[in-house]
Amino acid sequence: MHDDRSLVEARLNRVLDERIRPAVYPESVPLEVAVWNAPGEPVPVAEGLAASPGPIAVGDMWGAPWGTSWFRVTGTVPAAWAGKTVEAILDLGFDENMPGFQCEGLVHRPDGTPVKGLNPRNQWVRIGAPVEGGEEVRLHIEAASNPVILDYHPFLPTQLGDKETAGTDPQYTLTRMDLAVFDETVWQLVLDLEVLGELMQELPVEGARRWDILRAVGHALDAIDLQDVNGSAAAARSCLEGVLSTPAGPSAHRISAIGHAHIDSAWLWPLRETVRKVARTTSNMTALLEDEPEFIFTMSQAQQFAWIKEHRPEVYAKVKKAVAQGRFVPAGGMWVESDTNMPGSEAMARQFVHGKRFFLDEFGIENDEAWLPDTFGFAAGLPQIIKAAGCKWLLTQKISWSQTNKFPHHTFQWEGIDGTRIFTHFPPVDTYNCSMRGSEIAHAAKNFKDKGVAKHSLAPTGWGDGGGGTTREMVAKAARLRDLDGSATVRWETPTEFFTKAEAEYPNAPVWVGELYLELHRATLTSQAKTKQGNRRSEHLLREAELWAATAAVRTGFPYPYEELDRIWKTVLLHQFHDILPGSSIAWVHREAEKTYRAVAEELNGIIDGAQRALAGDGSGTLVFNSAPHERHGVAAGGAGVAAVGGSAQLSPREDGGFVLDNGLLQVEIDGRGLVTSAYDIGAERETVAPGRVANLLQIHPDFPNMWDAWDVDAFYRNTVTDLTDADELTPVVAGTSAAVRVVRSFGDSKVTQLLTLPAGAKRLDIDTEVDWHETEKFLKMSFPLDIHAERYASETQFGHFHRATHTNTSWEAAKFEACNHRFVHLEEPGWGIALVNDSTYGHDVTRTVRAADSGTTTTLRVSLLRAPRFPDPETDQGVHRFRHALVPGAAIGDAVREGFRINLPERRVAGDAAVTPLVTVDNDAVVISAVKLADDASGDVVVRLYESRGGRARVGVTAGFDAVEAAATDLLERPSADAPRLELADGAVKLTLRPFQLVTLRLARSRT
């Protein structure tokens, strides 16, 4: 037989494009259109409906950036269309190649009832099926003219990312506003041919199935009358029945499809626009659920449900109804799909506390899965947090974006730092916006790495980020793929149904130990420094507010601010979303975040001040409040008293210029350039700085990644570096009992001022850095070349620390050229170590070289301070920034933990004489209390969260400083843990034995008398 395959395939494409698809709507009449442009920010629906619109016509421009236009469309269904299905086609000027990321609309009836969203691949509204003819049509469209930020030429700097700079020129052309007859038979034919044509392209040419489909498609095309597609569509469909009904083989891959519309809680749009994106999408999805009985939709992020509840209760009512039916599935159990690298221990825990509690309170649903398809890598401390929240599964997809190494599994057990394992799945479809294309389904089956031992994978299906979610076309394709020879099978299933099947078929899934590092988007650890500082400081202010408010409530009857703390936590958690905290959103988002963090700090400082004043009494003395988890200057952890500080530090000139600082524990030499040439541990007789090198060296690199400017730093940035060694000023500073040197440098259009301080009685060098930053596409680092031989180093993560290699033996290690830490990085030889602690930075790199002179190892630790990408915010990080770091020679890992808390939780001095004993104490410094608070149920019980911080076993006594009558181990939601042993409370104390990095939450009941 002659090979006519290419001929038939090309014929299929042209006939579909030019004849069959246009015949889906064979008849149409124009609607009348009028528009009202809302001034400023979006208005309530009632106001938009009541406004008086002016004239506009198809072909006219509309929509200033970030504006809202209310379109009124009216018309009459022709009498001749009686008995037919009629839809309104409402094209606001969509680009169908960009589902999401542009204008969107939400259609309302005249009474304000939402109908459905309008999106590039979803422009229809059903009028009647069938119609009687003569019906009057009146619809209102709330249209958002969001600008296109990520265009066909992506990453170009743009001022469109903030309404203050975006201008007022209209952006979109009103394209079509019609009533049209919908021919369902032709529409079904389109889906038949698309599914078969796409499947055919994925099958082997030498296989019989491909040729069976080709012949059937050829017959169907022969049956089409190109001058009467609507009259011949049924005949063409009959030619395809045989190939569409051939069942899949028993070895076919099994895909669980789940309706999905991943909506970033902010990204290339502000938070206020996400509220409307969610309303449009959920209106679409509740309507589709009513039309498609097998379809199931899932949505994560409790915050997004809360937004609908608050702003669009009529939409929320539909959502709640669909949730009750089991068709609209709240997923993930987190407040938002947060970043997981940078949020601190408590914040990561509270993501689950607030998310799960919302779903329980609103829907009675207990989530078993964490749902994070788009998060930029996963910290090694996360598995035990997931488990402590009562979850057991994790879904993500983003790891497939890694540039260097292909992750070896799609289904596996992920083991965290404490040994907890979580059953985890990466969908091999490699997208969380699956559209049921044949290429996607085939890729999932071919790509699945666990073939032979497992068959199931998940496919999140639908357009996200304003694309409107799953479409009726996707549902129709899934129906054809339910059991189709040559294809993976597709079923609509909930996350629980998928994970239950996947876990059952793969009981011995392979184990991956440690972080799930994304080999991409590494610069998100540094971009938008003020957002990151706001997050870190908010986390620690929340710790203080809970601790002192709880202490004051128990000791003095101070009113515990339950509602205020709940609201503030949710605000902070929202801003940990994976495009806010990572610094990858538009200028508007980060401008608002900075303002929000200032308000959060003001309110929390007010709570702290009120509680501490209630505790301190009215005396004339001065009390030091210590909110850190370790004693400081004689003041107990979580207590207040009179601080005792002894000793002093001396400053003297250095022979070759510069100064020597000495406090009897540490001797630091600073040369005439303001660089640290020596940090000598006097007791250990050990030098910190590598021979011939200088520390506190600021270095600047060009920073122009190949793509994803705010997200990425590519390895080649290291090829060019400028050391900032020239000092404009070097001045000794009198600072009480401390010795300090002030250094000023200028470079480019920027200026750096540093204060290097050696405090009395402490073996550390404090480094306060102020940068007035006005560079573009540059990367600023601070370097510490250390005389230490270490094959690995520790960086703090949630509830512990994680070790990474200092070498690059493998491509996996080489790819980690920029990594995340929380409060500290620690390097150690047996018996001696070094810590570098910080108050607000996350990104760092560690490299090692061997010196030719003495064969010693220089291990260089560099802190990432600032970047200056131009997309999506062209003014990223411009302005003044302040950072605090401390170099701690001779530090063991426990010292790193202690100093990390110290720099983030400064002592507070309050007038008063009433010393405060801690509400809760522990008798082992290896065990850290991460939270002391009153129980969320307002019972008055005290909740204490603690963890083993050094990576070893720990026996610890936990003692209540109040009349505790009962102690229980709980989950993160403060519910009794089913698998926890019963705790004995003796003399107000509980004895625990913790494994390395184990997290424990205790609930201490108070006497009610």
DSSP-derived secondary structure for 436-490: --HHHHHHHHHH-TTTTT--EEEEEESB-TTS-B--HHHHHHHHHTTT-TTS-EE
Q: In b/e form, how buried is each residue of 218-233, taking b as 16+ CB within 10 angstroms?
A: bbbbebbeeeebbebb
Q: What's residue 981's pLDDT?
A: 77
Q: Which residue has the higher pLDDT, 977 or 227?
A: 227
Cα(440)–Cα(462) distance, integer angstroms: 13
pLDDT digits (tens, 9 = 90+) for 345-391: 999 999 999 999 999 999 999 999 999 999 999 999 999 999 999 99
Q: What's residue 610's pLDDT?
A: 98
Q: What is the pLDDT confidence band of residue 647, given thresholds at 50, 70 and 90? A: confident
Q: Which residues pair with 744 in a beta bridge?
A: 729, 753
Q: Which of 698, 653, 650 is nearest to 675 (CA)?
A: 698
Cα(348)–Cα(357) distance, integer angstroms: 15
The burial class, CB within 10 Å (0-12 / 13-18 / 19+), for 629 is: buried
Phi, psi dihedral angles at 233 (to 5 degrees): -65, -40
The tokens for 426 are: 């990466």
Q: What's residue 74's pLDDT?
A: 98
Q: What's residue 100's pLDDT?
A: 85
Cα(939)–Cα(560) distance, integer angstroms: 11
Over residues 151-178, mean pLDDT: 96
Cα(96)–Cα(471) distance, integer angstroms: 13
Q: Which of 432, 363, 358 is nearest to 389 (CA)?
A: 358
**CA pseudo-torsion sign 795, 798, 800, 804:** negative
pLDDT digits (tens, 9 = 90+) for 823-882: 999 999 999 999 999 999 999 999 999 999 999 999 999 999 999 999 999 999 999 999
What percent of the chain has pLDDT above 90? Answer: 97
Residue found by looking up tokens 């091999």 in the block: 428
The tokens for 871 are: 């997309």
With residue 843 as reference, give the H or E element that holds it. strand 843-850
Residue found by looking up tokens 């980060």 in the block: 590
pLDDT for residue 2 is more than 90: no
538 SS3 class? helix
Task: Give start and end residues of each alpha helix (H) in 1-98.
Answer: 5-15, 45-50
- Inter-residue contact 459 to 256 (CB < 8 Å): yes
Cα(634)–Cα(445) distance, integer angstroms: 63
Q: What's residue 736's pLDDT?
A: 86
Q: What is the pLDDT confidence band of residue 285, given thresholds at 50, 70 and 90? A: very high
- Inter-residue contact 373 to 432 (CB < 8 Å): yes
Q: What is the pLDDT confidence band of residue 176, given thresholds at 50, 70 and 90? A: very high
Q: What's residue 982's pLDDT?
A: 84
Cα(308)–Cα(45) distance, integer angstroms: 14
Over residues 422-444, mean pLDDT: 98
Q: What's residue 1's pLDDT?
A: 63
All residues at 6 or more sequence positions from 460 whose CB lies less than 8 Å from its CB, including other chains: 258, 260, 262, 298, 373, 397, 427, 431, 432, 433, 434
Q: What is the pLDDT confidence band of residue 979, given thresholds at 50, 70 and 90? A: confident
The tokens for 465 are: 């980020």
Residue found by looking up tokens 């207590």 in the block: 639
Over residues 624-649, mean pLDDT: 94
Q: Which of 33, 41, 35, 79 is nearest to 58 (CA)?
A: 33
Q: How many CA atoms lie within 13 A of 332 on its CB side?
A: 25
Cα(488)–Cα(176) distance, integer angstroms: 38
Over residues 935-956, mean pLDDT: 98
pLDDT for residue 735 is more than 80: no
- The catalytic position among 91, 192, 374, 877 is 374
Is 374 a known active-site residue?
yes
Q: What's residue 760's pLDDT?
A: 96
pLDDT for residue 317 is more than 70: yes
Q: What is the pLDDT confidence band of residue 1009, given thresholds at 50, 70 and 90? A: low
- Inter-residue contact 492 to 258 (CB < 8 Å): yes
Over residues 395-416, mean pLDDT: 97
Quote the distance between the C-alpha of residue 751 and its chain's center: 33
Cα(872)–Cα(173) distance, integer angstroms: 25
- Max CA pair span of the chain: 104
With residue 289 as reference, give the H or E element that holds it. helix 271-291
CA angle 945, 948, 954 (to 5 degrees): 120
Cα(307)–Cα(577) distance, integer angstroms: 15
Give pTM, 2 decimals. 0.98
Q: What is the pLDDT confidence band of residue 722, given thresholds at 50, 70 and 90? A: very high
856 SS3 class? coil
Cα(525)–Cα(559) distance, integer angstroms: 38
Phi, psi dihedral angles at 729 (to 5 degrees): -155, 140
The tokens for 532 are: 């990151």
Phi, psi dihedral angles at 361 (to 5 degrees): -70, -40
